[in-house]
C-alpha cells in the first residue's frame, strides 16, 4: 500500500479513536485524559434512554455508544498469523471480537449487511491501524449461495482460514407466538441456525488441524424469555451444534467452542430486539445490575480460539453478569 494511503488510513483510525475517547469520556463524566482502560464500575447502568433504530441498527447511532474496546483492548500475540472470518463483525460483540483478534495478531474478514457499511468502515480502519489485513464482505447470510461465496472470498483474500466466528443473529421481540409470522420464523432460523450450518460446512472444506470455529449462543439457550421465543430456540440449537460438532471434529484436530453472553448493550437490542420497557431497564436483572459492554466479552472470543487452550473444545465460555450459564 502506498505510504499516503496508509497515512490516510492511520489518520482515519486515530480520529476514530479520538472520537470514541470523547464519547466515552462524556459518558463517564471524566476528562479526555481519562485512563484508557475503563473501570467496570463506570459503565452505563439502567435506566437507559429508550431509542428505536430501523433494523439492523448502527452502533454509531446508539446512546450511549457501546464500548467495543476501541481504546482499551491490549493484545499479546495470542492469535499471531491467524486468519479469521467474523460474521456480524461491524458492531456489538462481533466488532469487539474483530478488534481483539486484530490486536492479537490476526488478519480479519468481517461480514455484515449492506446497511451497516458505516459501522463496518470504522472496524476496517481499526483493524488496519494494527497493521493487520482487513477484508470487508457485505451480504445477507439468509442466502446459502452467499454463505458459500463469503467463505471462499474470505479465505482467498486472507490467504487461508484458521478461525470462523459465527456471530451474526436476528432477534425481534414478539409478545406472543401468534405474532411470530412464518416469515419471521424463517428469517430467524435462516440467520441464526442455517447460516452457521452453511458457513461451518463450507469453512471445514478449507480448514486443517489447529483450526477453530467459535459460535455465539446466549443465556437464552437455557433460560428463554417469553417474548423472543424463536430467537431463544436458535441459541439453544447453536449450543447443541457446538457440543456435537466438537465430538465430530476432534479426530481432525479442529475445535468448536461457543460463547454465551447475557445482556449486552448492542444495536440488536435497539432495532427491534427489545421492547421499550426492556430497553429502559436493560441489564437490571443481571446480578451486576447493568448490561455488559462488548469490550467485556472480547477476551472470551480470543480464549475460545486461542491455540494455547488446545484441550478446550465443545466448551461454553460465559459472560452473563452473574446469572449463570446455559447447560
What does 321 bind: Mg ion, ligand NAD, none (CB cut-off 5 to 8 Å by kind)?
none
For residue 303, whether the previous peptide bond is cis, meaning omega lies within 30 degrees of 0, is no
**DSSP H helical segments within 131-228, as ranges?**
144-158, 182-189, 195-204
User: Which range touches Mg ion (CB under 5 A), out of 25-33, 108-116, 146-154, 224-232?
Assistant: 108-116
69's grid cell? 474496546
> Which of 132, 170, 174, 255 forms a contact with ligand NAD (CB under 6 A)?
170
Per-position x/- string for 90-109, each x denoting binding to ligand NAD as judged by CB under 6 A, each - no binding? xxxxx---------------
Q: Tell whether residue 91 is a contact of Mg ion (CB under 5 A).
A: yes
d(CA 90, CA 138): 10
| Residue nearer to Mg ion on the CB measure, 84 or 270 | 270
Least distance (Å) between residue 58 CB and ligand NAD? 9
Choose the stretch contacting ligand NAD; rule: CB under 6 A; options: 25-33, 34-42, 157-165, 266-274: 266-274
List the one residue from 241, 264, 301, 317 that touches ligand NAD (CB under 6 A).
264
| 3-class SS shares of the chain: helix, strand, coil, % to 5 | 45, 10, 40
DSSP annotation of 245: H
C-alpha cell at 120: 463496518
Size of the site for ligand NAD (CB under 6 A): 28
- Order of strands across the sheet with 316-319? 134-138, 107-112, 83-87, 163-166, 212-216, 255-261, 316-319
Binding of ligand NAD at residue 267 (CB under 6 A)?
yes
Element housing 11 (H / E): helix 3-28
State whether residue 32 is helix, strand or coil.
Answer: coil
Peptide bond into 209 cis (omega under 30): no
Question: Which of the ranges 32-40, 89-97, 151-159, 248-256 carries the binding residues for ligand NAD, by CB under 6 A?
Answer: 89-97
Helix, strand or coil for residue 45? Answer: coil
Per the annotation, the verdict on 231 as an active-site residue is yes
- In whole angstroms, give the CA distance from residue 150 to residue 156: 10
**With CB under 5 A as the contact rule, which of the stretches 14-22, 37-45, 78-86, 89-97 interacts with Mg ion?**
89-97
**Closest distance of CB 10 from ligand NAD, Å:** 25
Q: Which of 134, 268, 288, 298 binds ligand NAD (CB under 6 A)?
A: 268
Which residues are at the interface with Mg ion (CB under 5 A)? 90-91, 116, 267
Interacting residue ranges for ligand NAD, rule: CB under 6 A: 56-57, 88, 90-94, 112-113, 116, 140-142, 167-170, 191, 216, 218, 261, 263-264, 266-269
Q: Would you name the residues annotated as active-site residues?
A: 231
Amino acid at each position: 500500500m502506498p505510504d499516503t494511503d496508509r497515512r490516510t488510513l492511520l489518520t482515519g483510525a486515530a480520529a476514530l479513536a479520538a472520537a470514541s475517547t470523547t464519547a466515552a469520556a462524556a459518558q463517564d463524566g471524566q476528562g479526555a485524559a481519562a485512563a484508557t482502560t475503563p473501570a467496570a464500575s463506570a459503565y452505563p447502568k439502567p435506566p437507559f434512554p429508550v431509542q428505536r433504530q430501523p433494523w439492523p441498527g448502527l452502533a454509531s447511532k446508539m446512546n450511549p455508544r457501546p464500548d467495543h474496546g476501541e481504546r482499551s483492548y491490549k493484545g499479546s500475540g495470542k492469535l499471531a498469523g491467524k486468519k479469521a472470518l467474523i460474521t456480524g463483525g461491524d458492531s456489538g460483540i462481533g466488532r469487539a471480537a474483530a478488534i481483539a483478534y486484530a490486536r492479537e495478531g490476526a488478519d480479519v474478514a468481517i461480514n455484515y449487511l449492506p446497511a451497516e457499511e458505516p459501522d463496518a468502515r470504522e472496524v476496517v480502519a481499526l483493524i488496519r491501524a494494527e497493521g493487520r489485513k482487513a477484508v470487508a464482505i457485505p451480504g445477507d447470510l439468509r442466502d446459502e449461495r452467499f454463505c458459500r461465496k463469503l467463505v471462499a472470498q474470505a479465505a482467498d483474500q486472507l490467504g487461508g482460514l484458521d478461525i470462523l466466528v459465527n456471530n451474526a443473529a436476528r432477534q425481534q421481540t414478539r409478545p406472543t407466538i401468534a405474532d411470530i409470522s412464518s416469515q419471521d420464523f424463517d428469517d430467524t432460523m435462516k440467520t441464526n441456525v442455517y447460516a452457521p450450518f452453511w458457513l461451518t460446512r463450507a469453512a471445514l472444506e478449507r480448514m486443517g488441524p489447529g483450526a477453530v470455529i467459535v459460535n455465539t449462543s446466549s443465556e437464552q439457550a437455557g433460560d428463554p424469555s417469553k417474548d423472543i421465543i424463536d430467537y431463544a430456540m436458535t441459541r439453544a440449537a447453536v449450543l447443541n451444534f457446538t457440543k456435537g460438532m466438537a465430538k465430530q471434529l476432534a479426530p481432525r484436530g479442529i475445535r468448536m467452542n461457543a460463547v454465551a453472553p447475557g445482556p449486552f448493550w448492542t444495536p440488536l437490542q435497539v432495532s427491534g430486539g427489545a421492547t421499550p420497557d426492556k430497553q429502559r431497564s436493560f441489564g437490571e436483572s443481571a446480578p451486576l445490575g447493568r448490561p455488559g459492554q462488548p469490550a467485556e466479552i472480547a477476551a472470551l472470543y480470543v480464549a475460545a480460539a486461542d491455540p494455547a487452550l488446545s484441550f478446550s473444545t465443545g466448551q461454553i465460555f460465559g459472560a452473563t453478569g452473574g446469572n449463570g450459564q446455559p447447560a
